[in-house]
Amino acid sequence: MHSDPVGRRNSPTRRAVLGTVAGVAAAGAAGAYAWNRHGHGSGDGGDGGVSGRPGSRTFERLSDPGRTVVRGPDGDTLATFTDGARTAVLAGPSRTFSEPRTTKATVTTNAWVRVLPHAWQQGMEKSAWFKGWFTKTLADTGPDVFAAAFEYSSAGAPDKHNSAGVRYAGTAHFGPRNQAVNSPLDFAYHDERSDFYDYLGIPWTFSDGTRAQPEQARYGDVDCSGFQRLVWGYRMGLPLHNTNTKGAGLPRRAFAIAAYGPGRMVIPHTNRQPTELDVLQPGDLVFFAIIKNRPNFIDHCGMYMGLDDQGRHRFYSSRSAANGPTLGDLSGHSLLDGTDFYARGFRAARRL
């Protein structure tokens, strides 16, 4: 992390914690998500060629997008690595994520989303670093991307501080109250423009030398793209930059992440709601056009979680109506399929 350590700041008064952030199911149950509904992948469209058999594992090449799938001796998927992306999805103990304050839906999954040290390339399973990394990471039950993301749930998450006294996790909110908007269900009721360093309350120096200062009024707040930068950048170590142009790592706003972010597009932006969703895997960033008079301008982003208990494609994002990160259904269901508000606005997906 590239920042200036500062002393612990006093957190503003927080509203009472409501609801349950996430329940952890017993290990071993089968997860439900599009990339691996039955343990054998979905939407393969690949050549099915086996590139290596170290021990009882097989490495299979699939296409659209190009990726390497690791299978166990029973054929179940152990991991998926996508060419050009650092996102890796590994099978692990099943977990259930819930948020009763805002939805009855739950997501039960055995997908553990990790970040590779390098963008994946075909044949990397033969590299010197991979065997040790994979064996260690497959057995790791420490916080992954999902676990880190839920450490900011608007439904309530305990504060965590680093050695410098900086609160790096805990209940996040979306932004300051927007006095020009009266309805709490309006997506502008809380003001956007809160980035990860506002949440942290510390100044931040980016790799190009530019320096950003947090706004005191935005301490503990993070908007939709700022939330992804908080999780993927600050917590997971992906590079960040402070513009909306091309550059190394994640740019600032949702439209720029969609257009210029690292990794690869798995659902391109075609000005229409995508209907073929089997290409998605947990951890993919999903993008939405939700401004009424700009129906194709990307103005919101979230993280795809997989299938919920009703078999619907659910995502997790920082939103005004919930006043922070949510998988819930206030002022629009957190779904990619169907005809609800966010589903109609869904436009694209990127795998970081």
pTM for the structure as a whole: 0.85
pLDDT class of 183 with cuts at 50, 70, 90: low
Identify the bridge partners of residue 115 per DSSP, sorted by sequence position: 87
**Can you give the pLDDT at residue 296?**
87
Percent of the chain with pLDDT over 70: 82
pLDDT tens column, 94-130:
999 999 999 999 999 999 999 999 999 999 999 999 9
Residue range 215-229: average pLDDT? 97
**Taking 80 as the threshold, does the pLDDT of residue 31 lie above it?**
no
Pick from 53, 153, 66: which is nearest to 101 by CA?
153
Most confident of 14-18, 246-250, 309-313: 309-313
Per DSSP, helices labelled H in 212-273 are: 224-228, 254-260
Mean of the pLDDT values across residues 330-351? 96
pLDDT bin (cut points 50, 70, 90) of residue 348 is: very high
Residue 138 has pLDDT above 50, yes or no: yes
Burial (CB < 10 A; 0-12, 13-18, 19+), residue 39, is middle
Over residues 251-299, the pLDDT tens digits come to 999 999 999 999 999 999 999 999 999 999 999 999 999 887 888 899 9
The three-class DSSP label of residue 294 is strand
Q: Residue 192 — pLDDT band, cuts 50, 70, 90? A: confident
- Under the banding of pLDDT at 50, 70 and 90, the label for residue 176 is confident
User: Would you state the pLDDT for residue 283?
Assistant: 98
Residue 301 — very low, low, confident or very high, per pLDDT cuts 50/70/90? very high
> Cis omega (within 30 of 0) on the bond before 65?
yes
Give the integer Cα–Cα distance in Å for 42 and 62. Answer: 11
Q: Is the pLDDT of residue 34 over 50?
A: no
Shortest CA distance to 349 belongs to which of 286, 273, 274? 286
pLDDT score for 56: 84
Rounded mean pLDDT, 38-63: 58
What value does the mean pLDDT take over residues 327-333? 93
DSSP string, 58-82: EEEEETTTTEEEEE-TTS-EEEEEE
